[in-house]
Chain A
Amino acid sequence: MLDDKITSETFWEGVWENNPVFVMLLGMCPVLAVTNSTINALAMGLATLFVLLSSSLLVSLIRNWIPKQTRIAIYIIIIATFVTVVDYVIQAISLDLYNALGAFIQLIVANCMILGRAEAYASKVPPVKSLVNALGMGVGFTIALLCLGSVREILGSGTLLGFDLFGEHYQQWVVMILPPGGFFVLGGWLLLFEWLRQRKEQEES
């Protein structure tokens, strides 16, 4: 199955069919923790995308020299290096954002999606293909974060990207930007997708 040809499937697999958040349920911690506003979600998505791209590329480039026994340790060190880079870059660009995301930038290391991609994909295919696939996965992850972040921000503070949507009489649904809201909104999205899937199956049969 893992041949060297690049098809559109290589990219779209991560965005839709095997979406890391909605389908595979990987990397949940940042998904729930930093999505209390859209801008945080976007920054987290892009940071993860960068780490995913660069670690996939590097792992794929050196895949033939990695001894089998120590591969996990090597992947983790590679990922940790790129995360350190992202950590310092975000700190340099915007200190506000850095404080809002807190330890979760450094915790990208423990995102099982990235390690999973390195182990299951990047170590088996040539660089370009693993790069395309990582791009798809990263985009899928970012979209999922945005789905959660925008819903939680709209419901919880009545704004989107900081712009007021409903005027001053809007009663804020505060629980949505607190921790329980993260569980509820993600659960809600999963329910929606499951419902759509079942309805499609019924129509087909």
Chain B
Amino acid sequence: MEPTGLDFIFFNAFLASNFVLALFLGLCPFLGVSGKLETAFPMGIATMVVMLISSVCAYFINQILVSYDIEYLRLISYIAVIASSVQLVEMTLKKFTPGLFRSLGIFLPLITTNCAILGLALFQTFKEYNFLQSLVYALGAGAGFTLAILLMAGMRERMDLARLPSVTQGAALSLMIGGLLSLSFMGFAGLGS
């Protein structure tokens, strides 16, 4: 049985089992949107907001599903909730910050297929977190995602200026950087479970 204190849950999701670097969730935006710092940061924040909304919704949906004994509908209802909360974030951004909305472009609707968000909803169900714990878990996971994508974007901006052998350009280089980041995050493993 792992500890269930709120601070533990936060730091576990934030560092020790970071969603991107330790659990391999949400790699598509991690590799796709991490080219520039100025788009990486809003992407991280948008993902975090969607995580919070869908975590709250998933908690209540799971309560309803369990009370009617229809858990096999869990996956379908979770993905529907995530798709609609992405739509909500998209409309809000479009209304209040049109510039940001344009710069994120296609990657905004793609948050729907970001497995970090579905993974979060599933993990909090498997771990049987209560409402407050789920909220803190979502916050930690979102912050961890933002941290990882920011670190990656910072390093890739530097790499643009470096002289590299022609073979390593493109995805291979990003993966190697990701591997090094992941290696350094393993140092936090002692903190968590």
Contact = CB atoms under 8 A, between A and B. Distances in A.
Interface of A: 25-26, 28-29, 32-33, 72-73, 76-77, 80-81, 83-84, 87-88, 103, 106-107, 109-112, 115, 175, 178-184, 186-187, 190-191, 194-195, 198
B56 interface: no
Interface of B: 21-28, 31, 72, 75-76, 79-80, 83, 110, 112-115, 117-119, 122-123, 126, 166-168, 170-173, 175-176, 178-180, 182-183, 186
A110 B28 CA distance: 11
A191 B172 contact: yes
**4 smallest beta-carbon distances between A and B, as pairs:** A183-B179, A187-B175, A110-B115, A33-B24
Contact of A106 (B21, B75, B113): B75
A28 B186 contact: no
- Majority DSSP secondary structure for residues of B touching A: helix
B23 A107 contact: no
B172 to A, nearest CB: 4
11 contacts: A76-B79, A84-B72, A107-B115, A107-B122, A109-B79, A110-B115, A110-B119, A181-B179, A183-B179, A190-B175, A191-B168
Contacts of A33: 23-25
B80 A73 contact: yes
A180 B75 contact: no
B25 A29 contact: yes
A12 to B, nearest CB: 22
B21 A179 contact: yes
Contacts of A80: 75-76, 79
Given A73-B83, A84-B75, A191-B168, A112 B24 contact: no
A72 to B, nearest CB: 8
A72 B113 CA distance: 11
B122 A103 contact: yes
B172 A187 contact: yes
B179 A184 contact: yes
Given A80-B75, A183-B182, A112 B28 contact: yes
A181 B183 CA distance: 9
A84 B24 contact: no
A81 to B, nearest CB: 7
Contacts of B28: 26, 28-29, 112
B75 A109 contact: yes
Contacts of A72: 83, 112
A103 B31 contact: no
A178 B183 CA distance: 9
Nearest to A197: B167
A186 B175 contact: yes
A33 B19 CA distance: 11
A175 B170 CA distance: 24
A173 to B, nearest CB: 13
Contacts of A81: 76
Contacts of A198: 166-167
A157 B168 CA distance: 28
Given A83-B75, A179-B22, 13 more contacts: A25-B171, A26-B28, A72-B83, A72-B112, A76-B80, A80-B75, A81-B76, A87-B75, A106-B118, A109-B79, A110-B115, A179-B21, A187-B176
A160 to B, nearest CB: 23
